[in-house]
């Protein structure tokens, strides 16, 4: 078993301060990256998608639950499976009512969507004791259009923004196994949507290791077009009533506040 080197307190403090310099630089780079992510253009969602939930058929607009933004977690659950993906399940086991409330305080709704029929989803959801919104996209093009289900008879292959041609290239050799997968197969990830009146826009998607950043409220909000909706963020004007730079997630926002320490 490999363990860290043993050092004196003074030696540890010197090494820790050196690492702190790198950490602060990484934080500043991450802030700049998040700002550029918010500057991404958005694409109008013009297709009518229908989902099945506990109250029956609903639309994509319904999934917003009255909020400005919607985060969709693409849960891997093939219609032929009796249970959901173990990795997706582990991630959803960590979802809490508090996280959903925090997102709601920043005008953002959250829902999981899978291709399995809703009866299977409802049974699995009850078995796991989950209370978060979870809908079925069975029978719709939603999973194919947002590359959560790879089926080239339905839509061209796109995995983490790589096309089949990209994956076939010699430099993508370590990913060639994807091309040998029997289709259809499921692909986990997140898609982010913004509502402006009755219009709905797709603003961002992330998959692969990008999903690791979407495990807490700030991590999820950093992938949305409106961000954390705090006064220090760039670009300005993404919130009519920005919050202070403090993660209390109170429903009543307060303008002002200094940027968090970089």
Which two three-digit tokens encode residue 74? Answer: 């693409």
Q: Residues 148-162: what's their mean pLDDT?
A: 96
Cis status, amide bond into 105, omega within 30 of 0 = no
* Ordered strands of the 134-136 beta sheet: 43-44, 199-207, 189-196, 69-74, 108-114, 134-136, 50-53, 56-59
Which two three-digit tokens encode residue 256? Answer: 């002002």
The secondary structure of 34-71 as a DSSP string is: HHHHHTS--EE--S--EEEETTEEEEHHHHTTT-SEEE
What's the angle, vertex CA 73, arms to CA 179 and CA 66, rounded to 5?
A: 145
Please give the Cα distance from 37 to 50 (Å, whole number): 28
CB 185, CB 178: distance < 8 Å:
no
240 pLDDT higher than 90: no
Residue 118: phi, psi to the nearest 5? -60, -30
Q: Beta-carbon neighbour count of residue 55 at 10 Å?
A: 7
Number of H helices, E strands in the chain: 8, 12
Q: What is the pLDDT of residues 87-125, one digit of tens each?
A: 999 999 999 999 999 999 999 999 999 999 999 999 999
Global pTM reads 0.91
Please give the Cα distance from 60 to 65 (Å, whole number): 10
72 pLDDT higher than 70: yes
In the predicted model, what is the mean pLDDT of the chain? 93
252 pLDDT higher than 50: no
First to last CA, the chain: 35
Please give the Cα distance from 10 to 40 (Å, whole number): 45
Which two three-digit tokens encode residue 187? Answer: 């692909």
CB 217, CB 102: distance < 8 Å:
yes
Q: Beta-carbon neighbour count of residue 182 at 10 Å?
A: 5
So what's the pLDDT on residue 262? 65
- Residue 102, CA atoms < 13 Å, CB-side half-sphere: 18
pLDDT greater at residue 23 or residue 242: 23
């Amino acid at each position: 078993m490999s363990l860290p080197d043993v050092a004196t307190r003074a030696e540890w403090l010197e090494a820790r301060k050196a690492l702190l310099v790198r950490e602060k630089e990484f934080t500043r780079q991450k802030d700049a990256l998040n700002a550029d992510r918010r500057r991404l253009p958005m694409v109008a969602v013009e297709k009518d998608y229908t989902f099945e939930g506990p109250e029956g058929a609903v639309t994509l607009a319904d999934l917003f639950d009255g909020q400005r933004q919607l985060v969709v977690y693409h849960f891997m659950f093939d219609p032929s499976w009796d249970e959901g993906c173990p990795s997706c399940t582990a991630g959803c086991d960590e979802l809490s009512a508090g996280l959903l409330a925090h997102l709601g305080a920043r005008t953002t709704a959250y829902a999981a969507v899978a291709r399995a029929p809703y009866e299977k989803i409802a049974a699995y959801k009850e078995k796991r004791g989950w209370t978060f919104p979870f809908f079925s996209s069975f029978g719709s093009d939603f999973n194919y259009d947002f590359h959560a289900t790879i089926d080239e008879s339905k839509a061209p292959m796109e995995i983490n923004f790589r096309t089949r041609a990209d994956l076939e290239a010699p430099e993508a050799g370590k990913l060639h196994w994807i091309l040998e997968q029997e289709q259809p197969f499921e692909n986990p990830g997140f898609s982010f949507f913004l509502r402006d009146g009755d219009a709905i826009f797709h603003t961002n998607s992330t998959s692969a290791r990008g999903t690791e950043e979407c495990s807490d409220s700030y991590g999820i909000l950093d992938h949305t077009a409106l961000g954390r909706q705090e006064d220090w963020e760039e670009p300005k004007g993404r919130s009519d009533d920005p919050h202070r730079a403090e993660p209390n997630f109170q429903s009543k926002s307060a303008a002002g506040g200094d940027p968090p320490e970089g």
